[in-house]
Chains A and B, each alone.
Chain A
Amino acid sequence: MDLLSQLRGQIADFSAFLHREGFVDDQFTQLQKLRDESSPGFVVEVVSLFFEDCEKLVNNMAKALEQQIVDFKQVDSHVHQLKGSSSSIGAARIHNVCIAFKTCCEDQNRNGCVRCLQQVNHECIQLKNNLQTLFNLEQQIIAAGGSIPAKQ
């Protein structure tokens, strides 16, 4: 099997893994379909924006939860934003944690919020690492003279 076929196989297997384990959902596939010749780096760019914003939101939520009197409305608005952007890129696990997180905000449950925040952080790190692996594989295909498999 030549190198390109091997790499394409690895990408297909890894993508299947990401979907099977719930790291990403169909919305991520939709995002990949938006990539074209005029914007080959579109998915990488959007994902980078997402993780930059995710980091800021997590920091803001952490600061808010450290306060003696927690402003749960403020925390909720950060969670709401993360919920929206995570669903738009197909970051399914992060989105699901945000749903539970919103409930904790509504219940004004500080401990629950702190646990959710830890989970969000954990899922962000995992997804970031996984997507980096995927993007590295795609880069290897390009370096080997191939093109990234188009999403159907």
Chain B
Amino acid sequence: MATSNGSSTGTKITALVVDDDRVINAIHCKRLNKLGIENHVAANGKEAVDLHCSGKKFDLILMDRDMPIMNGIEATRELRAMGVRSIIVGVSTRSIKQEIQEFMDSGLDDYQEKPLTSSK
């Protein structure tokens, strides 16, 4: 996996899992862990934005679409407007083309339908 400009000076890849579902967070974190990726969790888009405002940077962000307080579309737009260049992958159970496109247009690099697997 290529490191983005937002990576830390260490060699370990860092990831932020943004999802309001703790089951999904636990699974994603475990998968990332097994791939040797250091990971952090945010329960909604606002927490993800706040983490970046506090100076945190991540190589990869897994962004859920539907979350309370701030959803994935709003959070992605906000992060891109802040100049965040991390790889942001949208993750959702939504499969309607229009909804996926709306999410992609917010600034995603990729979109994956849940459930995530190690190969994805």
The interface of chain A, by Cβ under 8 A from chain B, is 27, 30-31, 34, 36, 39, 42, 45-46, 49-50, 53, 77, 80-81, 83-85, 87-90
Interface flag for B8 (CB, 8 Å): no
Q: Mark B10-26, 1 if CB is under 8 A from A, else 0.
A: 00000000001111101
Number of residues on chain B facing chain A (CB within 8 A): 18
Instruction: Check A49 against B26 for contact (C-beta < 8 Å).
Output: yes
Instruction: Check A31 against B27 for contact (C-beta < 8 Å).
Output: yes
How many A-B contacts if CB must be within 8 Å? 52
Instruction: Check B34 against A46 for contact (C-beta < 8 Å).
Output: no
Instruction: Check B93 against A83 for contact (C-beta < 8 Å).
Output: yes
A95 CA to B27 CA, complexed, in Å: 17
Interface flag for B52 (CB, 8 Å): no
Interface flag for B80 (CB, 8 Å): no
Residues of chain A contacted by B21 (CB below 8 angstroms): 53, 81, 84-85, 88
Residues of chain B contacted by A84 (CB below 8 angstroms): 21, 24, 92-93, 114
Instruction: Check A77 against B27 for contact (C-beta < 8 Å).
Output: no
Name the contact of B115 in the complex, choosing from A27, A39, A46, A81 (C-beta under 8 A). A27
Instruction: Check A53 against B22 for contact (C-beta < 8 Å).
Output: yes
Q: Decide: A46 near B93, CB < 8 A? Known: A34-B34, A87-B114, A88-B114.
A: no
Residues of chain A contacted by B117 (CB below 8 angstroms): 27, 30
Instruction: Check B66 against A46 for contact (C-beta < 8 Å).
Output: no
